[in-house]
Amino acid sequence: MFFVKALSYTILVLLVVTDLFVPREHPHFIGDFIPGFWAVFGFTSCAMIIVVSKWLGKKFLFRPENYYEDENSEETNGYV
């Protein structure tokens, strides 16, 4: 397990290091000039999506699974 982790982190570091030498052919905005920009972008996106969504869920949106069923339970007979 330690080996797998070490290998994974090495790949990630190498990915950012080699980015220093990749030519920029059609840069579109400032981020395209910064080496490792997309690595940071990917990581922050992932963290932001998880944290913001979970916050929204806990604060407003989560309900128990039978939330919609209770209301209708009085006329359950007659269906399959």
Site string for another protein, 5-44 (x = CB under 8 A): ---x--xx--xx-xx--xxxx--xx--x---x-xxxxxx-
**Which two structure tokens, joined as six digits, stand for 59?**
């604060």
2 binds another protein (CB under 8 A): no
**CA angle (71, 77, 80) in 5-degree steps:** 105
Cα–Cα separations (whole angstroms), residue 73 to 14, 56, 63, 64: 58, 29, 17, 15
Rounded-to-integer distance, Cα 68 and Cα 76, Å: 13
- Residue 76 interacts with another protein (CB under 8 A): yes or no: yes
Under the rule (CB under 8 A), what is the footprint of another protein? 8, 11-12, 15-16, 18-19, 22-25, 28-29, 32, 36, 38-43, 45-54, 56-57, 60-65, 67-68, 71-72, 76, 79-80
